[in-house]
Structure 1
Amino acid sequence: MFQTEAILIDTSLKEKAWSQLFSGLEKRAFRFACLELGDSGQAGDMVQEAAIKLMQKYSDRPTEEWVALFYAILRNHIRDHQRRQRLERLLGFWRTENDDAEEDLSALPDLFPSPDDQLSGQQLGTQIESALRQLPNRQREAFLFREWQELSVEETAMAMGCSSGSVKVHHYRALRRLRTLLADWAPGGYDDEA
């Protein structure tokens, strides 16, 4: 009886820890998935699937590892989905009319008060999204995990399944490329020496 109670308490604590963690992680993970997929409906599904898989398969792991594991699972789900889409296109299984009703990142709430600022912000957002899509996958992942998800180098390495050194290289190269691609949006340009 005592052992059963201990298991129930441990399970309850893990559920609370996951609930707290996921409430702060969900929006950032959704944005990450939106940028990777370009479809907010699909992105929401991927985030939910990754959360479920984490709790089903890895709830026994230390809670400190959950963020990196969650992003690794999410990243793998996204890659699998993209692979299936490419295969369907190659095999000629074209999308149905219902699949064309995609939502994009412009559906996210606007943060700019004036119409001019709003237009400028939308243009910048489009440019950033375009620049991110031009990066190789590993560089884009390293950048998004480090800058937007605020993961540490070690957490990013775990999520990407590579070494910390590799994360640093991919992140550095992504920053350099983004500086070049977005130079027109910087007030005085970017100083490569800085």
Structure 2
Amino acid sequence: MLVTAPVQPDLPTPQAAPAWASLDAFLAQIGPRAFRFAEAGLRQREDALDAVQDAMMKMLAYRDRPAEEWTPLFWSILRRRIIDMQRRARFRLRWLSPAGDDPRGEEAIDWADPGAGPAQAHERREAYARLGEALRALPARQREAFTLRVLEDLDVATTARVMGCSEGSVKTHLSRARQALLTQMEDVL
């Protein structure tokens, strides 16, 4: 007589757990940088947090993709989300606000080192605020190229994929952004 074991329900395979864990680690690692990128584009803390959260939620749909695809995919998703939010904000501001009013207040973020003295912390906050202003003053494509290439340290090919343009365009935007930032930040550097 042949005895068979009872049929077990399908359980998650051991490989499924590390994929979640590594995606969680990826999102945790990229979160602060993504927030700064979003804040530079949206100019408001709450909108930046929403954009990053939305991008992270959309990344969950791509958890089965190879890990090497996550970085350009995440930045592409976040970039598209920021552009959508900018368009909505422009539409609302144009139709709901009196001419010349900007209902969104600027809120500074304290990135200072907690171990620094008050004068050093103040200088760092001011330098960060000036850099943020200088980045915001750049055209969107230059700001994106600078942030992705310099601050995020993505290679030219990946940056081009994220931005949806050629590698030559990335280099041009980056060169112009660097020149504009150097001009604006001469006394800080």
Q: TM over 0.5: same fold?
A: yes
State the shift of 1:81 in Å: 0.5
The correspondence for 2:78, drawn from 60, 74, 77, is 74
The correspondence for 1:107, drawn from 103, 106, 109, is 109
**What's the TM-score, normalizing by structure 1?**
0.81
Quote the Cα distance in structure 2 between the aligned partners of 1:47 and 1:12: 24
1:30 matched residue in structure 2: 35
State the shift of 1:10 in Å: 4.3
Contact kept? 2:41, 2:140, Cα under 8 Å: no
1:63 paired to 2:67: yes
Quote the Cα distance in structure 1 between the aligned partners of 2:134 and 2:106: 19
2:188 matched residue in structure 1: 185
Aligned length: 177
Quote the Cα distance in structure 1 between the aligned partners of 2:125 and 2:111: 11
1:152 matched residue in structure 2: 155
1:48 matched residue in structure 2: 53
1:189 matched residue in structure 2: none
* Superposed CA offset, 1:29-55 (max 9, x none): 111112222222221221111011122
State the shift of 1:103 in Å: 6.7
**Greater helix content:** 1
Gaps of 5+ in 1: 187-194
1:118 matched residue in structure 2: 121
1:141 paired to 2:121: no
Gaps of 5+ in 2: 1-6
State the shift of 1:133 in Å: 1.1
% identical equivalent positions:
36
Quote the Cα distance in structure 1 between the aligned partners of 2:163 and 2:88: 20
Quote the Cα distance in structure 1 between the aligned partners of 2:158 and 2:13: 29
1:165 matched residue in structure 2: 168
* Superposed CA offset, 1:84-107 (max 9, x none): 01011121257xxxx85x573x33
Quote the Cα distance in structure 2 between the aligned partners of 1:26 and 1:163: 27
Quote the Cα distance in structure 1 between the aligned partners of 2:17 and 2:67: 13
Letter in 1 for 2:39: C
Quote the Cα distance in structure 2 between the aligned partners of 1:9 and 1:45: 33
RMSD of the alignment, in Å? 2.3
* Superposed CA offset, 1:52-77 (max 9, x none): 11222x33432211111101111111
- Partner secondary structure for residue 116 of structure 2: coil
